[in-house]
């Protein structure tokens, strides 16, 4: 397959890797530490892609002040960093997708809002093959998604122009970032999407229910 698209970029949490078990465990350990009742996994899972602040708000309530929430977020991240890759795994189908992309001349990379000190060891522990052409974390650039800056850096590191890239993510900010950068975009419906969100309104170029559908989409559109 000769493609006009050359690079596939992925969000990390909820798209490339199922990090929800470890992030949910970290939140529940923090809740226990503060004498709160743990939350069910199914309650936590949809919020994982929204980051640590959203998770501590979920656990401790919106009424807490900004300083207290930030302190809780920092403690949550400390706990999570100590338990980074206990239950985390690539979503089923991702290894096969990456192998198929490589076989057909595509490279791939990661663009995430997760900070570098968590992203890089997590990707290393997942031992993904073939390895990524680029990893852009939430603090690699001045701006984070939905700003296009990290997307454009990923393009440069992967050796592709934005119009040669496809970005796959499970959050509205992923789609906005990809579109603003000039990429094609796909919504990963298997990721962490809350009941109140409507991916149909995000303006993506398509939606997928399983990782290998990325390759099916590329065959039709690349």
| pLDDT computed for residue 97 by the predictor | 98
pTM for this model (two decimals): 0.94
Annotated catalytic residues are 11, 13
| pLDDT computed for residue 2 by the predictor | 45
d(CA 156, CA 185): 18
Mind listing the pLDDT tens digit of every residue in the chain (222 residues)? 444 899 999 999 999 999 999 999 999 999 999 999 999 999 999 999 999 999 999 999 988 888 999 999 999 999 999 999 999 999 999 999 999 999 999 999 999 999 999 999 999 999 999 999 999 999 999 999 999 999 999 999 999 999 999 999 999 999 999 999 999 999 999 999 999 999 999 999 999 999 999 999 999 987
Q: Identify which of 53, 5, 6, 11 has the alpha carbon closest to the alpha carbon of residue 190.
A: 11
| pLDDT computed for residue 1 by the predictor | 42
d(CA 20, CA 41): 8
């Amino acid at each position: 397959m000769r493609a006009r698209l050359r690079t596939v970029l992925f969000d990390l949490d909820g798209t490339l890797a199922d990090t929800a078990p470890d992030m949910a465990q970290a939140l529940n350990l923090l809740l226990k530490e503060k004498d709160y009742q743990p939350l069910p996994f199914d309650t936590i899972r949809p919020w994982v892609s929204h980051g640590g602040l959203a998770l501590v708000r979920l656990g401790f309530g919106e009424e807490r002040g900004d300083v207290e929430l930030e302190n809780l977020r920092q403690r949550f991240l400390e706990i999570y960093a100590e338990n980074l890759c206990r239950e985390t795994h690539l979503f089923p189908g991702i290894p096969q997708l990456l192998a198929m992309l490589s076989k057909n001349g595509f490279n791939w990379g990661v663009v995430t809002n997760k900070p570098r000190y968590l992203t890089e060891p997590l990707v290393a522990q997942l031992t993904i093959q073939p390895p990524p052409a680029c990893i852009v974390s939430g603090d690699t650039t001045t701006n984070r998604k939905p700003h296009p800056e990290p997307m454009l850096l990923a393009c440069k590191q992967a050796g592709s122009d934005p119009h040669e890239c496809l970005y796959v993510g499970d959050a509205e900010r992923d789609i906005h970032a990809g579109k603003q950068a000039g990429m094609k975009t796909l919504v990963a419906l298997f990721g962490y999407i809350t009941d109140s969100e409507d991916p149909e309104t995000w303006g993506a170029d398509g939606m997928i229910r399983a990782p290998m559908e990325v390759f099916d989409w590329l065959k039709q559109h690349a």
